[in-house]
Structure 1
Amino acid sequence: MPKAFTPKIVTANDLLKGDVIYQTLDGWSRDLADAEVLTDEAHADLRLIEGSQQANSVVGVYLADTQVIDGLPTTTHFRESFRAKGPSNYNHGKQEVA
């Protein structure tokens, strides 16, 4: 029996800056709160294809599991939390600010 579809978001990396980005209704955002939450498998597949066709601006497009908590999308896998923090070396990117 196939696994039931769970909510997803489309995520990738910005081709020029390398930052994690999330597909929104009308583009891409660096803020997970802006991500479009996809609850229909066919629609998620379509949005994944649309994102993958933007090879001039994004790389590594894929669907990530998510859940909505207090009205905001939250990733469910530690990999996504790790990616969102940026490079793992000190004094670089987002971790420099945190």
Structure 2
Amino acid sequence: MKILAANRLTDGVAVWLGEDDVWVEDISQARVVRDKEGEESLLRTGEVAFQRNEVVDAELVDVEVVDGAIRPLRLRERIRAAGPTIHPEIGKQALKRAVTLV
């Protein structure tokens, strides 16, 4: 299973491609694909968004779904989903429950 991750060009925030080709800041809203056709569709959408100067560094991310939650397999992507590595009472972490990294 895969999702498409990128960074929004205007502010550098990590985003994921959600339904209806909308970039979302919460990984739980990312569109999960399960086959090569889905992966190719995500990549095409990411390329169009790059050409429009909406996002940079669009890449497929391996994920699993655990108890209905999207969980990246790589630690790097789990950290991106949780937000910048700063105190949990400020920034993205203060807005929601932090993503478990292990």
TM over 0.5: yes
SS of equivalent to 2:49: coil
Runs of 4+ in 1 over 6 A off after TM superposition: none
Match runs of 1:1-80 below 5 Å? 7-26=1-20, 27-55=22-50, 56-80=53-77
Alpha-carbon shift at residue 87 of structure 1 (Å): 3.6
What code does the residue aligned with 2:66 have?
I
> Unaligned regions of 5+ residues in structure 1, if any?
1-6
Amino acid at match of 2:16: Y
Structure with greater proportional helix content: 2
AA in 2 matched with 1:78: L
Post-superposition offset of 1:89:
5.8
Unaligned ranges ≥5, structure 2: none
Could you tell me which residue of structure 1 aligns to residue 79 of structure 2? 82
Q: Give the % identical residues.
A: 35
The answer as to whether partners of 2:71 and 2:78 remain within 8 angstroms in 1 is no
| TM superposition score normalised by structure 2 | 0.76
- Residues 26 and 81, structure 2, Cα contact 8 Å, conserved in 1: no
Cα–Cα, structure 1 residues 92 and 64, in superposed 2: closer, same or farther, change >3 Å? Answer: same
For these two proteins, the number of residue pairs brought into alignment is 91
